[in-house]
Amino acid sequence: MQKYHGSELNVNSSSPSHSSRPSEVFAARNPPNQLPWDHTKKTVAILGSGWAATSILKDLDTEHYNVVVVSPRNYFLFTPLLPSCTVGTLELRSIMQPMRFITRFKKREVMFVEGECRSIDPEKKTLQVEDNSEVVGALSSQTIPYDYLIVACGAENATFGIPGVKEHACFLKESWDARKIRTRLMDCLETAAFPGQPASEVSRLLHMVVVGGGPTGVEYAAELYDFLEEDIAAWYPDIAGKMKITLVEALPHVLPMFSKELITYTEKHFAEAKVEIQNNTRVKEVRQKELVVQTPSGDIETIPYGLLVWATGNTARPVVANLINSLPKTLQNQRRGLVVDEYLKVKGADSIWALGDASATKWAPTAQVASKQGAYIASMFNLLARNEDDKQRLAAEGRDAASTAIDASPEAVGPFTYDHLGALAYIGSDKAIADLPGNVHVGGALTFYFWRSAYLSNLFSLRNRVLVLFDWGKKSVFGRDIGRE
């Protein structure tokens, strides 16, 4: 690890990658020296490198803590633009920010461990971490001790135990999911174009089915439709007309979290675009080439497909499910995540906090909530450290901390509160919808530019913003790449 060289130290707790001045662009490529680990300080372990974890990292004052971050992927992923990567509107690397571009700008060295936390021992306060990447060294498993643990490892895709989903469907949560979808989509097209392919097989291969009419499913279907209209039609003129997109949703309508007007607007827009929505249709089984569904009339039918994208929401990751099972059942009774108190502390556990999609709260599992919770946790830990310092100073002066107004408990920061800024979703053909505070529900082309600018300004760094702008420009001029990786 790098050593602290006193006067050379140029501490800056926030990442310079957020700024846009030339000097700061230079700073972003030239990280400063950092304070070394201090074994007299407490160690905070953070699981994850997603919205919640990076939000904590951005604001946490590492002068007061040793920090270790554990995640199987060494980058932050801007998930709201992930559907655009499934068809090549954007390239994956444009929405990824390497974790070391963040950790190297903290005051104190942050240990980043690329590995999956397999289990948590709340008694011994240790994590069992495994390197599950392709390249594994002589040592692939390690026990990491912590004083405070922050569980921000998100959730995995819910399959509700429906047979065949894991084997045959593609998910859309991680960068590798988007890559797999893009490759499989091109494979379906080329296989359908194979000379002499029987007509029934061509229509199966060109049937793209999306299960789940939440925002993930809707945004993916929208991107796919754009790809069909703007690129596939030109490069595959013989088969493009046979391509079909179907969205299967178990409830009476798609996008249940959006306002009624916007649901109607989206369903009408999809109908015009010939994206078929099959509402009130529940998938019962997934086979290699067909889905088994229960239709609104209760009949069981099969739907042949070439590509199937499964987007039916979240469930707890195994490490979270195991922690839930190890805690008192009366306190931990949710399958979708860890139950926390109003300070995001895990109920029934000591020194463990959970946030984002790993927790089960009254808020929807969104990036917006996760990042706000991250900022809250960071401010709580910063306050806790300052209060500890004050307590020690008072003790050194021979004064009693209890007799002062210093509350050295983590709860001193007050409970977590959340102000919803609204929800946005892309619905295709350069149209978006927005549910905004104050009962404002808008949809259309103007909302699309609002959607684009909101996400552009929220991207992690100037580097990401430049790359995304470049990708949008590239797509407009040259179209999307149709090569199969």
Question: Considering only residues 201-230, where is the footprint of ligand NAI by CB under 6 A?
Answer: 211-217, 219
Out of 109, 116, 226, 435, the only residue in the binding site for ligand FAD (CB under 6 A) is: 116
Span between the terminal Cα atoms of the chain, in Å: 38
Helix (H, G, I), strand (E, B) or coil at 16: helix
The C-alpha atoms of residue 12 and residue 32 are separated, in whole angstroms, by: 8
From the list 15, 51, 97, 148, which residue makes contact with ligand FAD (rule: CB under 6 A)?
A: 51
Binding mask 215-244 for ligand FAD (x = CB under 6 A): -x----------------------------
Which residue among 35, 68, 82, 120 contacts ligand FAD (CB under 6 A)?
Answer: 82
Give the closest residue to 58 by CA, choosing from 478, 372, 273: 372
Given 52, 87, 92, 303, the residue binding ligand FAD (CB under 6 A): 52
Tell me how far apart the alpha carbons of residues 321 and 360 are, in angstroms, rounded to a whole number: 12
Sequence-distant (6+) residues with CB within 8 A of 153 are 47, 48, 50, 71, 117, 317, 319, 320, 358
Paired tokens of 168: 């045959």
Q: What are phi and psi of 148, to 5 degrees?
A: -125, 140
Strand 65-71 and strand 42-47: the pairing is parallel
Q: Three-class SS of residue 292?
A: strand
Q: Does residue 367 belong to the site contacting ligand FAD (CB under 6 A)?
A: yes
As measured in angstroms, the least distance from the Cβ of 255 to ligand NAI is: 8
Kindly tell me which residue out of 16, 31, 72, 443 binds ligand FAD, with binding defined by CB under 6 A: 72
Specify whether the CB–CB gap between 405 and 399 falls below 8 A: no
For residues 283 to 322, the per-residue mask of contacts with ligand NAI, x marking binding by CB under 6 A and - elsewhere, is: x---------------------------xxxx--------
Which does residue 149 touch among ligand FAD, ligand NAI, none (CB within 5 to 8 A, set by kind)? none
Q: Tell me how far, at minimum, the Cβ of 294 lies from ligand NAI, in Å.
A: 9
To ligand FAD, the closest distance from the beta carbon of 452 in angstroms equals 12
Residues in 60-99 at the binding interface with ligand NAI, rule: CB under 6 A: 80
CB of 359 to ligand NAI, least distance (A): 13
Q: Answer yes or no whether residue 152 interacts with ligand FAD by CB under 6 A.
A: yes
For residues 146 and 45, is the Cβ–Cβ distance under 8 A? yes
Rounded Cα distance, 255 and 264, in Å: 10
Q: Tally the residues of the chain.
A: 485
* Residue numbers 341-400 binding ligand NAI by CB under 6 A: 364-366
Pairing status of strand 314-316 against strand 155-157: antiparallel
- The residue within the footprint of ligand FAD, chosen from 71, 246, 281, 464 (CB under 6 A), is 71
Within 10 Å of residue 187's Cβ, how many Cβ atoms? 14
Please report, as ranges, the residues that interact with ligand FAD according to CB under 6 A: 47-53, 70-73, 79-80, 82-83, 116-117, 152-154, 172-173, 216, 317, 319, 356-358, 365-368, 370
Please report, as ranges, the residues that interact with ligand NAI according to CB under 6 A: 80, 211-217, 219, 248-251, 256-257, 282-283, 311-314, 364-366, 423-425
